[in-house]
Structure 1
Amino acid sequence: MKDIKNVLLVGVGGQGIILASKILTTGLIDAGYDVKMSEVHGMAQRGGSVTTQVRYGQKVHSPIIGKGQADVIVAFEKIEALRWIDYLKPDGKIVINDYEIPSATVIAGKERYPEGVIEKIKSLCEDVTVIKAADEATKLGNIKAQNIVMLGGLIKALGIENVDWQKAVRENVKEKFVDLNIKAIETGMQI
């Protein structure tokens, strides 16, 4: 627990990044870690970039992760992984959702969604885990649970599966969605 771990969660507004970060933070605090979290909403409600920085360890003094300092980046949308890759350590890991959310300019036909995004990420980072979280969440009955599937993948990448994640889910999710989210986090950890 002496080493500080830096986790950057990135995506687009409406993907549930803040909820995933809160569950992560709750679980880590309950497990005895000192945790600091910082979130940037940007134009979240309009599909803009959203980031959350979570740092944990024995003693953490600041919630901010600088460029080249993230141990893990979890990208809830493919383009966001490329946008934030400069924050990854040279030996860092990326957990990426194979999912596209077209920007307003793509929807308007002014631009095309870039091709080969995952291949580009793999050329820049050796340790890449690709998850089709939307497919997995759909199998569970609700595509909106893809954020928690991604959280499960992040938990696996960090090697912190032994934390009581069911308790963290119960503390942060409405009761009617608890079972779905517990299944989603377990699914992500198995991928």
Structure 2
Amino acid sequence: MNSVKNILLVGVGGQGTILASKILSEGLVEAGYDVKMSEIHGMSQRGGNVSTQIRFGEKVYSPIIGKGEADVIVAFEKMEALRWIGYLKEGGKMVVNDFEIPSAPIQQGKAKYPEGILEELSSKADVFVFKAADIAAQVGNMRTMNIVLFGALVKAMNLPGIEWEQVIKKNVKPEFAEINVKAFQAGYKL
């Protein structure tokens, strides 16, 4: 690979965005890529936004993705997809979880959750939308929604040949390894 690829993962605190990013980074390193990762937690412990920038290729000098540079954006929550769409490059892809987590102003009744987000995103980019929560529930554990999204990302980025299931097993507690592998497989099939 002679060019650097840029992946942006965005979500809300508690959704497992950081874990998915760490699994992705570790797998890419094991595959021989130079990888740089930057994470921003914000007020993630209080339901605030979380973003992770991952850049990989033969040689990467900075972990920062500028506006209009992301090859893929994975949004764990659809309002976060709308917030970050400006970072997607022309011809880039978005993997969007059709899932809503109301922000504090919405919960307090000071604002309303925006309508028409998926339609707006689809008018601006190549968007793959699915309900990762439903898929995770079918697999057997709602908390694996992040790994469902990770599986979809691996498919969207065409990143085969990496032992993703082994990397997942190394990064989750042993008692949750098999359910997370099933979640990855379900997301990859999307």
Bucket of the pairwise TM-score, normalised by the shorter protein: over 0.9
Q: Is the 8 A contact 1:131 1:150 kept in 2?
A: no
Cα offset, 1:92, TM superposition: 0.6
Residue 170 of structure 2 corresponds to residue 171 of structure 1: yes
Q: Is the 8 A contact 1:78 1:98 kept in 2?
A: yes
> What is the rounded CA distance, in whole Å, between the counterparts of 2:59 and 2:79 in structure 1?
33
- SS at the partner of 2:110? coil
> What is the rounded CA distance, in whole Å, between the counterparts of 1:138 and 1:78 in structure 2?
19
Cα offset, 1:120, TM superposition: 0.5
Residue 131 of structure 2 corresponds to residue 132 of structure 1: yes
Residue 161 of structure 2 corresponds to residue 162 of structure 1: yes
> What is the rounded CA distance, in whole Å, between the counterparts of 1:161 and 1:17 in structure 2?
21
* AA partner of residue 76 (structure 1): F
- What TM-score do the two structures reach when normalised by structure 2? 0.98
Which residue matches 2:113? 113
Q: Percent identity?
A: 59
Cα offset, 1:60, TM superposition: 0.8
Map 1:47-66 → 2, pairs under 5 A? 47-66=47-66
Which residue matches 2:44? 44
Map 1:11-90 → 2, pairs under 5 A? 11-90=11-90
* AA partner of residue 160 (structure 1): L
Which residue matches 1:188? 187
> What is the rounded CA distance, in whole Å, between the counterparts of 2:165 and 2:153 in structure 1?
15
Q: Is the 8 A contact 1:27 1:167 kept in 2?
A: no
- SS at the partner of 2:86? helix
Q: Is the 8 A contact 1:41 1:50 kept in 2?
A: yes
Cα offset, 1:111, TM superposition: 1.5
> What is the rounded CA distance, in whole Å, between the counterparts of 1:167 and 1:26 in structure 2?
11
- More displaced stretch, 85-94 vs 105-114: 105-114
Cα offset, 1:105, TM superposition: 1.5
Structure 1 unaligned spans of 5+: none
For residues 107-148 of structure 1, give each alpha carbon's deviation from its aligned partner in whole angstroms, at most 9, with x where no partner exists.
Answer: 1222211111100100111x1101210000011111110000
Structure 2 unaligned spans of 5+: none
Which residue matches 2:149? 150
Q: Is the 8 A contact 1:12 1:48 kept in 2?
A: yes
Runs of 4+ in 1 over 4 A off after TM superposition: none
> What is the rounded CA distance, in whole Å, between the counterparts of 1:187 and 1:2 in structure 2?
31
Residue-pair matches, total: 190
> What is the rounded CA distance, in whole Å, between the counterparts of 1:161 and 1:189 in structure 2?
10
Cα offset, 1:162, TM superposition: 2.2
